[in-house]
Structure 1
Amino acid sequence: MSLVGPLRKELADSVSSCRVLVVGAGGIGCELLKNLVLTGFRNIEVIDLDTIDVSNLNRQFLFQKKHVGKSKAQVAKESVVQFCPKANITAYHDSIMNPDYSVEFFRNFALVMNALDNRAARNHVNRMCLAADIPLIESGTAGYLGQVTIIKKGLTECYECQPKPTQKTFPGCTIRNTPSEPIHCIVWAKYLFNQLFGEEDADQEVSPDTADPEAAWDPSEAAARATASEQDGDIKRVSTKDWARSTGYDPVKLFNKLFKDDIMYLLTMDKLWRKRKAPLPLEWSELQKQEEMLGGGLKDQHVLGVYGYSQLFSESVKTLSSQLAERGAGAELVWDKDDPPAMDFVTAAANLRMHVFSMNMKSRFDIKSMAGNIIPAIATTNAVIAGLIVLEALKVLSGDLDQCCTVSPPTPSSLSLRM
């Protein structure tokens, strides 16, 4: 069975005899390996460092629940040979950046195909293929978007020839003092997690500035604010973690510091609020007089009220501080979107800050997507891109490099226009 129909004899012979390397056995890699053996490729080597996670199963169809925790490359090999028992597939559970995979290793292949999900590995494979003078097919997806491009030394641009967009950053004063978008509050909540439970970073301070950054300097105003900042122990300029430890990580004291005292301090910076809506402080004792009813549906899709998020904040602080205590003096936690207490903390803290600054609060699902910089992976996009990789590979093996081009599948909006 051939996925693309009968190939002319010369190309079919080349396909069946050539040796190809697939780097990555995830979303694109699974589809690509299946496509390769169905097209007639028989000598395939695949490398992937990852193991299979439950979250992979909705789109990486070579894997099943029984495979969770096992090597992606090895299980992919075992699944693909069921499509074509004659295929000779070698799997490596390893990093392609391991020095063992030298330029000489790359020279063993007629073609290299990337199915990677990180820039560092892409850069590395790009450089190795250029040094070995081996054609590379680079690919990637982001939601409904995807792209396939050929890289050949002396003929095309390489992967690093065009600058790639960097992760967006936000001014510290916006995060600390004047958030205007939900993402500002989410970044603040992640900073807060590190300040309380993780590795403290002065560049990620969450407390308000000690002076109004938009006010003209006035000695009397500066002195008044300096006095105000020392009047309440909750906003004294000490390490956030040290202050939290001194309270025994008391959730109520933390809540009142972050969402009442710090906000009241911000309100003393008059010029900040002349053209902005002023924030509204929250008081723990007042919120506890409220009641809240949850609707149906998935938990992660719920948007709670302020009371609900105050309770979630309290519960997550207790859990995280207990984890910290269990690890002993000097221990630090690392924020992970897939760790429930850590995600609960960021969800609660971010939503409470959104409410304080008059923004619509977000579901846990939405916050997880933004906090983890997640673009949902879509199985059909992976399948289309994997198909395009094979078509470009056939052009390379036919010697038609001049016909290769960067290709992208149409988006859903463009498809709807053509129907």
Structure 2
Amino acid sequence: MYIDRRCVYYRKPLLESGTLGTKGNVQVVIPFLTESYSSSQDPPEKSIPICTLKNFPNAIEHTLQWARDEFEGLFKQPAENVNQYIQDSKFMERTLKLPGAQPLEVLEAAFKSLVTERSKSWEDCVTWARNHWQIQYNNNIRQLLHNFPPDQVTTSGTPFWSGPKRCPHPLEFDTMNTLHMDYIVAAANLFAQTYGIKGSRDRAHVVDILKGVKVPTFTPKSGVKIHVSDQDLQNSNASLDDSRLEELKTTLPSLEALSTFRMYPIEFEKDDDTNFHMDFIVAASNLRAENYDIPPADRHKSKLIAGKIIPAIATATAAVVGLVCLELYKVAFGHTKLDSFKNGFMNLALPFFGFSEPIAAPKHT
């Protein structure tokens, strides 16, 4: 869009082309003659309903998107918010103006990062990863089944867990399970990076640390609201807990106490196999897929889906290159010269296709 603005400003033609799998496009922008590149926009991508992601996944694409959201919500957004809290004097004022329950969510995440989940050692990071595993793959699933038991029926008498809704089951952590340990090692290392703590790939050492982790006992609670659809979510006016908000404002560490502290947000990078990013995505997604009896995806397929990669097709690329080159000839030679060029070429080529009559030169107005 920047190049488009510059081309229009300097009255230079712009040739834009691209492919998307078997699809392709070519657009010619002639300033003050055609529309510019920025005049139109691609339609928005279809998004997965929030409630499907949070509670009712039925395809590996859902669990991978959930894992990507987990990555952002654990290793990027909280660290960014903490740094803004420390460095930006208007952070609190701006946060409190956010709509709905967002102010509470942002401050809760900052409070966790600075107080309840603040890590100071590698052992703390492993402990955090083990407790988070328990929350996501056991506790939350048990709470969901408490709200909607496997035998629950709807008001119309049909089973609640039917159609696209898969009835989940909780997982039990096992250090002998490779997938479980993949998650712990990746999550602990990423969490350590956000605090500037040196991580480790030594699984035997991680297992030793896990032996000393005491996981809190969880009991499903009555009265916990779980939204069944996005419409239900929108209709429920999430009220802001003002008392909790005030409590967070007063209990967050003072800026003086954090004068030398900072966190390190992590930007997702799928193509570095040593940074634990795809290790976390694959493990987090496949564990959730196991919760819901969804067939898992290997690393390659997970990378394609999570990275939104659509493989290029050589023939489609070649066709689009040919088409955009024809447009380049038009721009470079002008329409009249191009038509003469095309007709001369076609008169030479047509006999090969069984045609004997030459093409008449077009009449230009």
Deviations 1:118-169 (A, max 9, x none): xxxxx22233333333322211122333222222234433323333122333
**Shift of the alpha carbon at 1:173?**
2.5
2:265 to 332, 343, 349: 332
SS of 2:27's equivalent? strand
User: 1:322 is matched with which residue?
Assistant: 192
1:394 to 326, 329, 333: 329
Q: Residues of 1 paired with 2:117 and 2:38: CA distance?
A: 45
**Shift of the alpha carbon at 1:386?**
2.8
What is the aligned-residue identity percentage? Answer: 30
What code does the residue aligned with 1:263 have? I
**Shift of the alpha carbon at 1:184?**
1.9
2:8 to 126, 130, 137: 130
The answer to whether structure 1 residue 139 and structure 2 residue 17 are counterparts is yes
Question: Is contact 1:196–1:244 with CA below 8 Å preserved after alignment?
Answer: no
Question: Is contact 2:195–2:263 with CA below 8 Å preserved after alignment?
Answer: no
Question: Is contact 2:169–2:291 with CA below 8 Å preserved after alignment?
Answer: yes
What code does the residue aligned with 1:198 have? K
**Shift of the alpha carbon at 1:244?**
4.9
**Shift of the alpha carbon at 1:179?**
1.7
Which has more radius of gyration? 2
With the length of structure 1 as denominator, give the TM-score of the two structures.
0.48
Question: Is contact 1:195–1:240 with CA below 8 Å preserved after alignment?
Answer: no
**Shift of the alpha carbon at 1:274?**
4.1
Q: Residues of 1 paired with 2:67 and 2:77: CA distance?
A: 14
CA 1:254–1:336 in structure 2 vs 1: closer, same or farther (change >3 Å)?
same
What code does the residue aligned with 2:135 have? K
What code does the residue aligned with 2:306 have? A
**Alpha-carbon RMSD:** 3.2
Question: Is contact 2:329–2:338 with CA below 8 Å preserved after alignment?
Answer: no
Count of residue correspondences: 229
User: 1:180 is matched with which residue?
Assistant: 58
SS of 1:353's equivalent? helix
With the length of structure 2 as denominator, give the TM-score of the two structures.
0.54
The answer to whether structure 1 residue 360 and structure 2 residue 295 are counterparts is yes
What code does the residue aligned with 1:324 have? T
What code does the residue aligned with 2:183 have? F
Deviations 1:221-249 (A, max 9, x none): xxxxxxxxxxxxxxxx9777566547644
Question: Is contact 1:259–1:281 with CA below 8 Å preserved after alignment?
Answer: yes
Question: Is contact 1:197–1:332 with CA below 8 Å preserved after alignment?
Answer: yes
Q: Which has the higher helix share?
A: 2
User: 2:167 is matched with which residue?
Assistant: 278
Q: Residues of 2 paired with 1:326 and 1:391: CA distance?
A: 54
SS of 2:77's equivalent? coil
User: 1:313 is matched with which residue?
Assistant: 183
Question: Is contact 2:196–2:263 with CA below 8 Å preserved after alignment?
Answer: no
User: 2:306 is matched with which residue?
Assistant: 371
Question: Is contact 2:17–2:25 with CA below 8 Å preserved after alignment?
Answer: yes
